[in-house]
């Protein structure tokens, strides 16, 4: 297959590495000439350009830009695309993107590979990034079934766990819970610790922070731009999750204030038992 | 040295393994005969009994019981101890323990090895558990300097990063920030997700939860009994941290509600930059 990839960062670059290794021809596009060059050097693309001129040759195009550029990129592509070209994206929010992109291009199928790392950019691209990681495809009732199947087969061929059963709305609320809410509560942890006004305590906290703090603060120390995008494009879902979270936190504070140890223990037993529903192993 | 270890769980058992490998004689005590037997079988102790009869032979005794049993255990030991015997504990809260234990036994030195794992019990004991992990020793102005040094040298010999400069109060507020607060906010994350009333969304969240959720929820899925002990014995410090945290969370919710994206971005940039102050690498 001839596959276009627009945006050669971690996700775009990693897709290119895997897809080329399976024999597909990968045509890349990035605004930066240096990124195009690196992508060629590491073998993530067969060819790369700083414009979209080669894209009309593609059978399927992955738009791997940051969220705000997905719709403008599609608009720019449309005049030169063949009707058979499937276009997909990799944005972490789906409702607003799928709605607008489907209106623009009926052969659009939204996607979300859940395979971020702490690193970004073409230099972070790696083979087999998607193996055993969720890759959500969010078709609408109008999405061409054949295009959905082609995309599903393709991401399945690079080892991802493919999900096609969730609507954009279900996807967005689900990722608000398990991806976007964690970023916000984790960032607030770091922020709260830094609010300590006693410099001896702050120094001790910084010296003694160990694996528990490292885990809980990990996603709160991530890419700020991505965090803002989540909140901006998934605002209602993330606020719904944050408000529910605040209620649960208040309950827990209340248990401690009133020394209601049995309710605290019940809650911690419940969360201990519930966690394996989300995390295997 | 002859070293007594009372309570042969993860910490007590792991201390025994390391200390014996350095040539010390380790006398163990556990309420359960089967635990004594396992400790002997895995080489964590030279001898083990279900009572404290062998403890008076020890030069130094680690009390590795759960927090509520530390003071009663010391009370039980005192009548038979030589005045030279150093007693220490491994409780994760220090102020109430150090206060009461020092009043009971002037040769008491509080300690806190920060080397928990998800596993518990003698079967989770392992060699080198303490290597490069913080081990806080919290002397008071009255603590015998020589005893503090003996304990510090001993835990240094098993590879721990030893800290002796923090008072029990500084320790307790510091661990409230970096250890106890994370447990509470992480548990609230799991609780909030489970509060989702739409079964399709909950199912999707459970299926799609990936590394970000796994990290952020890890300590909230831990031992409920330990969580309650933290809150119970470190109540004021943990409430102080929780209230500050709630304020930071409210700010962040407010930024999203009012679409104050620049403040949200500033916060996330701040937390990204601040995290390495706590976590090397």
Render pLDDT for B219-249 as a digit per residue (tens, 0 to 9).
999 999 999 999 999 999 999 999 999 999 9
Nearest-10 crossing angle of helices B181-194, B235-257: 50
Distances (CA, A) of A224 to A147, A227, B16, B264: 34, 5, 45, 8
From the candidate CATH numbers 3.40.50.920, 1.10.3660.10, 2.40.30.260, 3.30.420.40, the one assigned to the domain spanning A170-277 = 1.10.3660.10
Contact criterion met (CB < 8 Å) for B221 and A174: no
For residue range B203-212, list pLDDT tens digits in order: 999 999 988 9
Which residue spans of chain A are classified as CATH 1.10.3660.10?
170-277
CB-nearest to B207 from A163, A185, A238 is A163
pLDDT score, position A235: 98
pLDDT score, position B74: 98
Judged against a pLDDT cut of 60, whether residue B90 lies above it is answered with yes
Q: Which residues pair with A6 in a beta bridge?
A: A29, A63
Average pLDDT over every residue of B103-129? 91
The two tokens of residue B277 are 């102050």
CB-nearest to B213 from A163, A178, A249 is A178
C-alpha R_g of chain B = 21
Assigned architecture for domain B2-166 = 3-Layer(aba) Sandwich (3.40)
Judged against a pLDDT cut of 60, whether residue A281 lies above it is answered with no
Residue A244: Cβ-neighbour burial (10 angstroms; 0-12, 13-18, 19+): buried
Judged against a pLDDT cut of 80, whether residue A115 lies above it is answered with yes
Judged against a pLDDT cut of 90, whether residue B116 lies above it is answered with no
Task: Collect all residues of chain A within an 8 Å Cβ-Cβ radius of residue B248.
Answer: 188, 191-192, 195
For residue B193, give the chain A residue with the closest CA: A177
Burial A40-50 (b: 16+ CB within 10 A, else e): bebebbbebee
For residue range A117-154, list pLDDT tens digits in order: 667 899 999 999 999 999 999 999 999 999 999 999 99
Q: How far is B18 from chain A (nearest CA, A)?
A: 21
The two tokens of residue A265 are 């223990």
pLDDT score, position A117: 67
* Alpha-carbon gap, residue B4 to B63, rounded angstroms: 8
Taking 3-state DSSP, the helix, strand and coil percentages for chain A, each rounded to the nearest 5, stand at 60, 10, 30
CB-nearest to A191 from B186, B270, B277 is B270
Q: Would you give the DSSP letter of residue B281? A: -
Question: To probe the interface with B, which of A137, A191, A236 has the most B CB atoms within 10 Å?
Answer: A191
CB-nearest to B114 from A188, A208, A216 is A208
Neighbours of B72 (CB within 10 A): 11
How does residue B117 score in pLDDT terms, banded at 50, 70 and 90? low
Nearest alpha-carbon partner for B112 in B43, B25, B170:
B170
H-helix or E-strand containing B89? strand B86-89
| B159 dihedral zone (left: phi>0; alpha: psi -120 to 50; beta) | left
Average pLDDT over every residue of B51-72? 96
For residue A191, give the chain B residue with the closest CA: B271
For residue range A30-87, list pLDDT tens digits in order: 999 999 999 999 999 999 999 999 999 999 999 999 999 999 999 999 999 999 999 9
For residue range B71-82, list pLDDT tens digits in order: 999 999 999 999
Task: Collect all residues of chain A within an 8 Å Cβ-Cβ radius of residue B261.
Answer: 228, 231-232
Q: How far is B234 from chain A (nearest CA, A)?
A: 10
How does residue B118 score in pLDDT terms, banded at 50, 70 and 90? low
The two tokens of residue B259 are 């679409």
């Amino acid at each position: 297959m001839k596959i276009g990839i627009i945006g050669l960062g971690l996700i775009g670059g990693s897709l290119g590495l895997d897809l080329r290794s399976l024999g597909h021809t990968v045509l890349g596009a990035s605004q930066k000439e240096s990124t195009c060059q690196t992508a060629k050097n590491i073998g993530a693309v067969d060819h790369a350009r700083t414009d979209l001129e080669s894209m009309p040759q593609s059978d399927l195009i992955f738009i791997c830009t940051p969220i705000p550029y997905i719709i403008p990129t599609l608009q720019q592509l449309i005049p030169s695309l063949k009707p058979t070209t499937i276009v997909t994206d990799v944005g972490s929010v789906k409702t607003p993107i799928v709605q607008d992109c489907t209106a623009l291009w009926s052969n659009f199928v939204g996607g979300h590979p859940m395979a971020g790392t702490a690193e970004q950019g073409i230099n972070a691209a790696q083979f087999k990034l998607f193996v055993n990681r969720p890759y959500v495809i969010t078709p609408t009732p109008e999405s061409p079934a054949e295009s959905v199947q082609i995309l599903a087969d393709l991401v399945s061929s690079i080892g991802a766990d493919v999900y096609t059963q969730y609507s954009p709305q279900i996807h967005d609320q689900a990722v608000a819970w398990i991806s976007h809410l964690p970023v916000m509560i984790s960032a607030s942890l770091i922020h709260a610790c830094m609010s300590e006004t006693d410099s001896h305590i702050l120094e001790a906290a910084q010296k003694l922070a160990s694996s528990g703090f490292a885990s809980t603060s990990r996603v709160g120390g991530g890419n700020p731009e991505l965090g803002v995008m989540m909140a901006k494009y998934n605002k209602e879902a993330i606020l719904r999750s944050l408000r529910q979270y605040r209620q649960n936190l208040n309950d827990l504070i209340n248990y401690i204030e009133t020394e209601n140890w049995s309710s605290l223990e019940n809650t911690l037993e419940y969360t201990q038992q519930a966690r394996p529903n989300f995390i295997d192993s």
